[in-house]
Amino acid sequence: KQEVTQIPAALSVPEGENLVLNCSFTDSAIYNLQWFRQDPGKGLTSLLLIQSSQREQTSGRLNASLDKSSGRSTLYIAASQPGDSATYLCAVPVGGNKLVFGAGTILRVKS
Amino acid sequence: NAGVMQNPRHLVRRRGQEARLRCSPMKGHSHVYWYRQLPEEGLKFMVYLQKENIIDESGMPKERFSAEFPKEGPSILRIQQVVRGDSAAYFCASSQREGHYEQYFGPGTRLTVT
């Protein structure tokens, strides 16, 4: 059974810091891994999707890496801003259709 | 290209009433997924549908919950005889094709049972 874990559960940093969010999964036979952002009371915004054949994906100040063999992915946020404050979720597909989510990392960037 | 649309955004029901949640997938998407986010818990898969077919309902409670995705119109998640424990955020996602393709999420419906 696939299980997804995210650490830390919460993170508070001053504006401008670079930070890393971690995601681990128990079954390394994944097709891809998706990172989402969720603002309070809102839906999920897809940030990055990394295919299993890829090592990393970049979008602006975000960089996600994937190491299937070790069952890990990291989301790197450069030069953090208060607007980055949100909950960050990672998810992997199981059985071809359903996503299994981690519990998320609550990020607060202080100005 | 409009994103995934869900309505209502907020729904209040008394115990014992029925709740109907609607989801319109992105244009060109024929695969719909429903997820539930209980308070202080993570997102959990409920059901996966294609047009007129339920493909995987392994995450949906066996009683009181049903889902459909008709040939015409939005996908509907129906909860009969709601109880307080049904209070949660219900999210719909859609994808263009079957398999390991990116899912796009709607804003969710927040159901409160009083």
Q: Find, in chain B, the residue whose alpha carbon is nearest to that of A32.
A: B100
Instruction: Determine which of A34, A45, A57, A97 to mutate to test the interface with B (most B C-beta atoms within 10 Å).
Output: A97
- Measured between CA atoms, how close is B108 to chain A, in angstroms? 6
Residues of A in contact with B59 (CB under 8 A): 98
User: What value does the mean pLDDT of chain B take?
Assistant: 93
Please, which residues bridge with residue B28 across strands? none
Q: Give which of A25, A19, A12 is closest to A76, Cα–Cα.
A: A19
Could you tell me the maximum CA-CA distance found in chain A, to the nearest angstrom?
Answer: 42
Contact A99 B106 (CB under 8 A): no
pLDDT for res B99: 63
pLDDT for res A13: 96
Confidence of residue B20 (pLDDT cuts 50, 70, 90): very high
